[in-house]
Amino acid sequence: MHRRIMRALISVTDKGGVVDFAKALEEMGVEIISTGGTAARLREGGVKVTDVSEVTGFPEMLEGRVKTLHPRIHAGILAKRSDPTHRAELTRHHIAPIDLVCVNLYAFEQTVARPECTLEMALENIDIGGPCLLRAAAKNFPDVVVVCDPADYEAVIKEMRANDGWVGQRLRAELATKAFRLTSSYDRAIAEYLEKAASGEGGK
């Protein structure tokens, strides 16, 4: 039996369309968890939001470097819903599943393309939590919908409305593939930048 999407984590750099996406999820009874600037934008748009810090029991730390890197987030994403041992562990530790992860990444390539970009600026624009969330959700795509591109908001909402809050496996697999392609290209861009910086070609 399919399980409706009940809980979504939304944390995006590109905030285009995110309020409408969150509102549509909220209208279908989905609880929204969010971080920092995204949470503020959603609240401004009238969306009820639970801060990630309320879920983890820790504040966002190190100027935002650590927000979502916590078992209460990643266990909620990675738990296999069909596995009774996983379900029992979540219950034992009072962790609620996260059924949808909507994340896009710090704009690393745009940052390092600027003439004034320094190595320090480049390093601060390497996203850590975002790729971890995307990879976790994509790994567990049979149970978790992963959305890394605002262009996919409409397709996800359309499918949820047509299927009582469920997203089919074909779309889930397509979205997971896109997420892994994104994290792969993102890491490649970082590696290429650092290689140039090490050789003295870039990174002031």
The pLDDT tens digits for 130-158 are 899 999 999 999 999 999 999 999 999 99
pLDDT on residue 22: 96
Q: What share of the chain is helix, strand, coil (3-state, %, to 5)?
A: 55, 10, 35
**According to the per-residue pLDDT averaged within each range, which of 61-65, 126-130, 173-177 is highest?**
173-177
What is the tally of helices (H) and strands (E) in the chain?
10, 5
pLDDT on residue 172: 95
Entry pTM: 0.87
pLDDT band of 202, cuts 50, 70, 90: low
pLDDT at 14 over 90: no
pLDDT band of 128, cuts 50, 70, 90: confident
DSSP label of 66: B
On average, the pLDDT of the chain sits at: 87
The dotted CATH code for 7-106+129-167 is 3.40.50.1380
Tell me how many degrees the CA angle 71-183-14 measures, rounded to the nearest 5: 85
Secondary element (H or E) of residue 11:
strand 7-11
Mean pLDDT calculated for residue range 49-71: 77
